Structure 1
Amino acid sequence: MTIFLENARIIDPAAGEERQGNLVLDGGRIAAIGDMAAPKGARVVDCGGKCLAPGIVDLGVKVGEPGERHKESFRSAALAAAAGGVTTLITRPDTAPAIDSPETLEFVMRRAAEAGPVRIRHMAALTKGREGREMVEIGFLMDAGAVAFSDCDNVVANTKVMSRCLTYARSLGALVIGHPQDPGLSAGAAVTSGKFASLRGLPGVSPMAERMGFDRDMALVEMTGARYHADQITCARTLPALERAKANGFDVSAGVSIHHVTLNEFDVGDYRTFFKLSPPLRPEDDRKAVAEALASGLIDILCSMHTPQDEESKRLPFEEAAAGAVALETFLPAAMRLYHDGTMTLPQLFRAMSLNPAKRLGLDGGRMEEGAPADLVLFDPDAPFVLDRFTMLHSKSKNTPFDGTRMEGKVLATFVGGEQVFAADARKE
């Protein structure tokens, strides 16, 4: 069916601009964009002057299949993504067992294909079992459909093993996604070290652990010439090293989670475990520096780092509780905080949330131009609401740090391949 989206505030991250206009969706792609009339027989959707942007490409989503389906299934994750304006999920391999063989990858690809209604692509582990000892069959996994390779927060501590992985990945053009942390310093840490950690009596880790881990990986990237993406840069001290790596011509990119640019260490408050993340939340100075780096483009990608945990793993003393938070449905409204406080424009945000992750992974998306996939999100950046995690979230797990928080920014409709896969109840056509 041809769909005509009229009276839209079009957010174009590639051009870095906003403009009023209409779109024609046909054959799963954007057929026309501009100031034109509706084609005969098209379904007309009045956007009401609200924002229309490329669908979010979320790099680094945890889904519990296989092994932890009770925390999040492909079906529940896909429904949550559609409700949050996320049209493409890039899932992580930190499952049980890890996605470290073509057979396991083919299993999750079949499960994802059955889930609908959004696009789902998959990373594979970098080492077998994510144990940091033996490299996976990178070539076979790429042939099976893996878009990147990562051991996630199980840092490959053995430098020789990591160098071999990067060398082999370089020969195949594979993207390696690292978690820049020194594993020795980070072991057992629950928060960022400092006065706040001392007052709360919690084990902390210095921000230098991130800098040291990143420096190690950059030395190996310089040695091997591999394609590398740092999944989360959260500290101001790491930013000069990232800038130098890019200036030296390394094929390096970096990301940050939405929680690390909208929350800080004080949000942990009185041991609130929904705010326990990996890496831990940082001081406000770090949060501001990282947000500014995201706005400038030094940090390329903003992601949800969606990590579902059940109530039993969160309702524990802070030090013992599992790390991570769900974020597929709170990603866009949380990102609107950066828009409303003037840190970033909407085109800058969607450059980081849609265009850049699609380009880094070689995917055909994140663009607002004729011929681009009709993966779109219609949203109101100013609509206020108070989040109730039990009644408003589609995710099986409800471990969001934004429960009870007043937020701004509502997804009104989501389109994938020209098909509407989500519509807010209050939206009128």
Structure 2
Amino acid sequence: MTLFLQDARLIDPEAEGETTANLVIDGGIIAAIGQMQAPAGAEVIDCGGKCLAPGIIDIGVKIGEPGERHRESFRTAGQAAARGGVTTMIARPDTLPAIDTPEMLEFVTRRAAEVPVRIRHMAALTKGREGREMTEIGFLMDAGAVAFSDVFHVTTDTKVLSRAFTYAKSLGALVIGHPQEPGLSQGAAATSGKFASLRGLPGVSPIAEQMGLDRDLALVEVTGVRYHADQITTARALPALARARAAGLAVTAGVSVHHLTLNEFDVGDYRTFFKLTPPLRSEDDRRAMVEAVASGAIDIICSMHTPADEESKRLPFEEAAAGAVGLETLFPAALRLYHAGSLSLSQIFRALALNPARLLGLPQGRICEGAPADLVLFDPDAPFVLDRFQLASKSKNTPFDGAKMSGKVLATFVAGVQVFGQVAQDSGE
């Protein structure tokens, strides 16, 4: 089927600009962009001047299958992603059991096949994510792994990590690290400082992130492996990142949308939906992260979607599970930075779509002729109040419950197929 999207405000993160144009989709590919008329027989969608951008590629999505299907299933994650404008999810390996063998990777790949959006999987860097023995990286790559990570289980044995980096380098694999010094971070529920002390919460110093990043970057320098830091959240970590890039190392970095739009004071009176990993930082750090995204020092914005059931969140703050769902809130939360004048729409989609695609070698993330027609149509100014019980995710642990937000996804397309939205279509005949 041929689709004709007319009168769209195209957000192009590659050209870093906006144009009003029509767009032809044929065979799941963007066939033409310009002021042409609709091809004969095409289905016509009037975008009404609303924004059309590349679909979001969300790196670091936790899906509960296998082992924690009660928190999130492939079906509910797929529905949430489509509603949030996420056309590709990069799923994490921190499942029960971990995705650390080709057989387990093939299992989750089969389970993901029925989801309306694209799903690619990371695999664990070490067996069981225990940091003692590296996985069969080559076999896992053959089975479809796009990256390797132990997520929040930071390896304490530097020799094991060095060997894994060396092996990953020899195979051209991407390693995704979580920059934290595990000893300092253990048991922490908040960022150390006056606020944590007044609340009586065990804190972790921001230096833990810098120390963890320094160790990883030293190993990157020795091995030459491609490395992505999943979340940089403190200003003091940015100079090390800049030095690594100046030295020519293949290093990129991400940040979660929560650390761009919230700070440590949002925890308030022990609100566990605001307990995250890493914990929320100071307002100075939050502003530094926004500036780093604007300048390109931080490449990627992600949701770090981490579903948690009610029982694991309705506990004292120290004991409650960390993490928040984010597939549906990633986009409107990121638009807070647009409405605040901190980032342009093209800069936001550079971090949400183009840079993740470049990092993983995917053809998506662009609006150009020949690119896959993975697109999101949205109104950046449409206001709404978020109701967590209306989320498609099984788990409802969002810090944005009851928040006033602006920016609604009107339609989501994957390979030219509308997987979400009620945008009217007319026959071009």
- Name the counterpart of 2:285: 286
- Name the counterpart of 2:312: 313
Q: C-alpha distance in 1, partners of 2:86/2:34?
A: 24
Q: How do 1:409-428 residues align onto structure 2 when only pairs under 5 Å count? A: 409-424=407-422, 427-428=423-424
- Name the counterpart of 2:163: 164
Q: C-alpha distance in 1, partners of 2:319/2:166?
A: 37
Q: C-alpha distance in 1, partners of 2:28/2:386?
A: 33
What secondary structure is seen at the aligned counterpart in 1 of 2:405? strand
Tell me the alpha carbon deviations over residues 139-159 of structure 1, each in whole angstroms, 9 at most, x when there is no partner: 000000000000000001110
Q: How far off its partner does 1:328 sit?
A: 0.4
Q: C-alpha distance in 1, partners of 2:50/2:336?
A: 17
5+ residue gaps, structure 1, are none
Q: How do 1:280-429 residues align onto structure 2 when only pairs under 5 Å count? A: 280-390=279-389, 392-424=390-422, 427-428=423-424
Q: C-alpha distance in 2, partners of 1:70/1:42?
A: 42
- Name the counterpart of 1:50: 50
Q: C-alpha distance in 1, partners of 2:408/2:317?
A: 32
Q: C-alpha distance in 1, partners of 2:311/2:424?
A: 40
Q: C-alpha distance in 1, partners of 2:184/2:424?
A: 53
- Name the counterpart of 2:89: 89
Tell me the alpha carbon deviations over residues 58-99 of structure 1, each in whole angstroms, 9 at most, x when there is no partner: 000000000000100011000100000000000000000000
Q: How far off its partner does 1:34 sit?
A: 1.1
- Name the counterpart of 1:109: 109
- TM-score for both structures, normalised by structure 2: 0.98
Q: C-alpha distance in 2, partners of 1:360/1:16?
A: 18
- Name the counterpart of 2:100: 100
Q: C-alpha distance in 1, partners of 2:304/2:3?
A: 32
Q: How do 1:57-68 residues align onto structure 2 when only pairs under 5 Å count? A: 57-68=57-68
Q: How far off its partner does 1:204 sit?
A: 0.2
Q: C-alpha distance in 1, partners of 2:381/2:36?
A: 27
Identical-pair percentage: 76
Tell me the alpha carbon deviations over residues 319-363 of structure 1, each in whole angstroms, 9 at most, x when there is no partner: 000000000001110010010111110000000000000110011
Tell me the alpha carbon deviations over residues 298-337 of structure 1, each in whole angstroms, 9 at most, x when there is no partner: 1000001000000000000000000000000011100100
Q: How many correspondences in the alignment?
A: 425
Q: How far off its partner does 1:428 sit?
A: 4.8
- TM-score for both structures, normalised by structure 1: 0.98
Q: C-alpha distance in 2, partners of 1:74/1:295?
A: 33
Amino acid at match of 1:52: L
Structure 1 stretches (4+) deviating beyond 4 angstroms?
none
Q: How far off its partner does 1:284 sit?
A: 0.3
Q: C-alpha distance in 2, partners of 1:20/1:369?
A: 14
5+ residue gaps, structure 2, are none
Amino acid at match of 1:396: K
Q: C-alpha distance in 1, partners of 2:152/2:320?
A: 16
Q: C-alpha distance in 2, partners of 1:393/1:47?
A: 25
Tell me the alpha carbon deviations over residues 94-151 of structure 1, each in whole angstroms, 9 at most, x when there is no partner: 000000000000000000012x200000000000000000000000000000000000
Tell me the alpha carbon deviations over residues 196-243 of structure 1, each in whole angstroms, 9 at most, x when there is no partner: 000000000000000000000010000000000000000000011111
Q: C-alpha distance in 2, partners of 1:20/1:351?
A: 19
Amino acid at match of 2:400: F
Q: How do 1:161-240 residues align onto structure 2 when only pairs under 5 Å count? A: 161-240=160-239
Q: C-alpha distance in 1, partners of 2:176/2:146?
A: 10
